[in-house]
Structure formats: structure tokens, C-alpha cells
Amino acid sequence: MAELMKAATLTFPREVRKRPLRIGEVARPEPKPGQVLLRVRVCGVCRTDLHIVEGDLPPLRPGIIPGHQIVGEVVAGTTGAGATEELAVGARVGVSWMGGTDGTCRYCHLGLENLCDAPTFTGYTVDGGYAEYAVVRSDFTFPLPNELDDLHSAPLLCAGIIGFRSLRVAGVKQGDRVGLFGFGASAHLAIAVLRSWNCEVYVSTRGASHRQLAASLGAVWVGSETDKPPAELDCAVTFAPSGDVVVAALASLRKGGVVAINAIHLDRIPQFDYDRLLWGERQLRSVTNMTRTDARDFLKIASEIGLQPKVTPFPLDQANEALIAVKEDSIDGAAVIVM
Ligand SMILES: [Zn+2]
Ligand SMILES: [Zn+2]
């Protein structure tokens, strides 16, 4: 008889207010060679989880356990090839959305593992961290800085890393004028990195509480999603799953500037005026997944600048409610499920 664990599994994708996650007992997974079994301490909640649970991303496996910002403790694993000192039993590690790559496709060979043709996604193609235990690939785990406790590490693992990658894709340089369009879990971490690079940050977002948070974190200007920043931006990152926001960001850009779209799903992109908005060598780029280098570089910066994400904890029993909170933007910062 397999041992049991408590987990949140997706029954079938539907609107999150109908509570598509079932909280109950399932068989505890066993690690195979190259994998470790983690006792999950906390798991961050990401907007991508919402897209999976509501079916915006097509279901790939029935009964999937979502969650890809896992902070866990190694309880068992392989000691063969691939095992490192960091992965001793008892080690505290983080796991993110990229749960593995094939290592053989042209993108992996080009050093673009975020674009791998056959990737494994934690909490989407394989079970994730909305559970008491999770099995993960040992070479896709990251040691976590001691400065950060479990609760505050979790939102760094996707929101933080992908927000950081977005800054790279947008080509942000020291002292740039940077626009952040939308101000949720990812943006409130990106602003701390930008401030440490002496950037001027302009935040355009829905909701008075998000605007207050942005101002308190050092934005030089905050406005609603229909306000235009008062200065031309060197680059911008959009975080909202809305094409209107992408066009608004483009309209705020100087010539040669870049908009990086940090969204795995957009409603659509409306028609826009090429001559006025894109001509002038402005660029529109998407941000896709992350590399392990992004993760390590970001976690290092996070520990150096003492990044303290704003978090709201939820018990595992309330996994549906945590997703509702993300959908309704009813909390500042990040939702985190605590086992
Ligand atoms: Zn590959
Ligand atoms: Zn995510």
C-alpha cells in the first residue's frame, strides 16, 4: 500500500469560483533516479496556476496537482549521478515552473533552455506543490538564501525569477526609465531590483491599493491603467493578461525602446497604429519561461538586496480561495499556500 498525502488536485478545468480543486488524499509519489522527494513546506500561487485551473491553458494530464513555487525539504532521493552536496537529506531547496528540459534540442544547445522543445512544467505536465510532498528533478532545484524564510522565498521562485527575466528581455540598464504595467506579485518584486539599479520606475495599474504599494516601494510616478506616464520610457514590462495594456505600454515608449510582455496568456492584442506606435525601432517581445541561470542570478540579487516580498498565507484547504484572491486581485503581493 502506497503511503498517502494530502493534496489539491484539479478535477476538471472550470471557473475558479466553482472550486475546481479537490482537497483530499492521494498516493505519495516515489522518486526515480535523478529525482528527489521533497516535503513541501510552502508553495506560492501564480497567475499561471489560475490559467491551468480555469482551462485557459489546455489540460495535459487529468488530476494534476498545480503549484510551481515550491519551498521544500529533501526527504529522499538519488545519491547517484546528478546528486550534489546541496541535495543532502534535510536540504532546503526551491523549485520553479521549469521542472526539466530534454537537454538535446537545438534550444538547449543554444543555451535557450527556456524555449526547450520538450520541457517539463512543474504543476502542469508533472505534479506540483499544492501537496504535502512533491517529486522533482534534482538538477532543477535551487538552494535558497538563508536570509529568506520559507514564506518569503516562495513568491521569488516564479513571480520573482520571471519578473527578473522580463527586465533582461526588456534590456533594462542602470538608471533607465522603466514602466511597469500592472502591479501584482511579479511587479512588486521587479521594482525592488530596479530600484537597486537606480532606475526611475513608472507604475500604471488598476486598483488604489496597488498604486499605494507601488508608491511606497519607490515608484517615481503611479497612475491608473488609463493614465499615461509623464515621461517617455526606455523600456516597459506588462504584467496584466490584457492586450490593451500592451498597446498602452507601447504608446509610452521612446524610439528604440522595448516592451516585454510577461504573460503566458493574453486575451488578444487589439489592432494598433504601426506608424505611430511601433515604427522607430520600438520592439515588442514576449517573455517565455526561465532558465536556471535566471533563477540563480535572481536569487543572488534577492539575497543581496534583502528582498522581502509581501505575502498572504493560505492553508492547503483554502487552495481554491487563494486562486480566487489572485483572480480578483484582492490581496497585495503574493498568495502562498502553507502546508
Ligand atoms: Zn531542449
Ligand atoms: Zn508562475
Tens of pLDDT, residues 277-290: 999 999 999 999 99
Confidence band for 87, pLDDT divided at 50, 70 and 90: confident
* Least trusted range by pLDDT, from 131-135, 198-202, 224-228: 224-228
CA–centroid distance, 115 to ligand 1, in Å, is: 7
Tens of pLDDT, residues 123-144: 999 999 999 999 999 999 999 9
Ligand whose nearest atom lies closest to the CA of 120:
1
Q: Which residues contact 181 (CB under 8 A, 6 or more apart)?
A: 204, 205, 225, 236, 237, 238, 239, 240, 245, 246, 248, 249
Tens of pLDDT, residues 237-253: 999 889 999 999 999 99
Percent of the chain with pLDDT over 70: 97
304 pLDDT more than 80: yes
Instruction: Please tell me the distance from the alpha carbon of residue 306 to that of residue 211, in angstroms, as a whole number.
Output: 22
2 pLDDT more than 90: no
* DSSP sequence for 9-21: EESS---GGG--E
CA–centroid distance, 281 to ligand 1, in Å, is: 31
Ligand whose nearest atom lies closest to the CA of 186:
2
Ligand whose nearest atom lies closest to the CA of 326:
2
Instruction: Please tell me the distance from the alpha carbon of residue 296 to that of residue 272, in angstroms, as a whole number.
Output: 38
Q: pTM for this one?
A: 0.90
Ligand whose nearest atom lies closest to the CA of 114:
1
CA–centroid distance, 105 to ligand 1, in Å, is: 4
* DSSP sequence for 162-225: HHHHHHHHTT--TT-EEEEES-SHHHHHHHHHHHHTT-EEEEE-SSHHHHHHHHHTT-SEEE-T
Mark the residues whose beta carbon lies below 5 A from ion ligand 2: 46, 48, 97, 158
CA–centroid distance, 173 to ligand 2, in Å, is: 25
CA–centroid distance, 136 to ligand 2, in Å, is: 16
| CB distance 177 to 200 below 8 Å | yes
79 pLDDT more than 70: no
pLDDT of residue 76: 86
pLDDT of residue 146: 87
